[in-house]
Amino acid sequence: MPTMPKRLYSAHLALAGLIVLALAACAPTNIGDNLSRAIMNQDDPETVREGAPSYLLLVDSLIESDPTDIPMLITGTTLNAAYAGLLVQSPKRAVLMATKAQGYGQRALCLGNKQACDIAELPYDRFTTALEDLRKRDVPALHAFALAWLVRVQAGGGNWCGLAELPKIEAVLERIVTLDQHFGNGSPQLYLGVLNSLRPVSLGGNPEKGRCYFEQAILLSKGKNLAAKVAYARSYARLVYDRDLHDRLLNEVLEAQPRIQGLTLLNVLAQREARILLETSADYF
């Protein structure tokens, strides 16, 4: 079966950036706040992988006890998507968890705004019209929903059905930026940078638009989100064969202090990726 461009699946750290910054943004309840902080400030991804399932079961049980609790649904969306996108090694399990997360996100959206019920199933023109009906108050649920959708598409093996969903996901992220450009400290801009850098101009991509989004993401996080620079190097600099930019960004990542409140897990993962990309720089360019 035809698959998506491989660049979407090399975008792991960009997705990580969206996930970890989404964790920072979700925190709508005390348990969500405490759990998100514990995950984001962990410098050992393996500890998170081993310890997270018990917390996921707790959140799922709380949602089951009150299926209309929007803040808890947002927490459940984000945590399940985060685990599926970053720490699950089985593609089948990742799809199952991301599908559950997307269901939570869809329910949260619908409860907050009836115009958003079953929005993902709408044809593209009606989909974008429905997005216009959403307001700033809907952004936390919309952001979590976009995260889960991205993880599900990425985990799904890259068939053409998933590829066809990317324009809708991009429209969601653009709507979030329009409604609240500072939400998530640049996480929507980070993945918009990746989506616009999947293909060269000759194949319909818009890497210069992607470059602008990457720079916005770095600016909004004040350079503390190291995954933004890694994604910028991998998705944009490699696409346009700019080795100077590529190596400069990655060296900045490796020289940075990764332990930043709320970003430690992400930054540790980013530095791991930066080392791999630098080691292969000479072969690539």
Domain segments of the chain: what residues?
6-226
On whether the pTM is more than 0.95, the answer is no
Under the banding of pLDDT at 50, 70 and 90, the label for residue 27 is very low
pLDDT at 163: 75
pLDDT reading at 87 higher than 90: no
pLDDT reading at 157 higher than 90: no
Mean of pLDDT values over 158-171: 79
How far is C-alpha 90 from the geometric centre of its chain's CA atoms? 19
Single out the residue of 143, 32, 157 nearest to residue 94, CA to CA.
Answer: 157
Sign of the CA dihedral running 85, 88, 91, 94? negative
Write the CB contacts of 182 (distance below 8 Å, at least 6 apart in sequence).
Answer: 220
Under the banding of pLDDT at 50, 70 and 90, the label for residue 246 is very high
Mean of pLDDT values over 29-49: 66
pLDDT at 8: 41
- 45-75 core/surface letters (b: 16 or more CB in 10 A; e: else): beebeeebeebbeebbebbeeeeebbbbbbb
Alpha carbons 121 and 225: distance in angstroms, whole number? 33
Mean of pLDDT values over 21-34: 54
Q: Which CATH number fits domain 6-226: 1.25.40.920, 3.40.640.10, 1.10.3720.10, 3.40.1280.10?
A: 1.25.40.920
pLDDT at 37: 67
Single out the residue of 49, 48, 80 nearest to residue 63, CA to CA.
Answer: 80
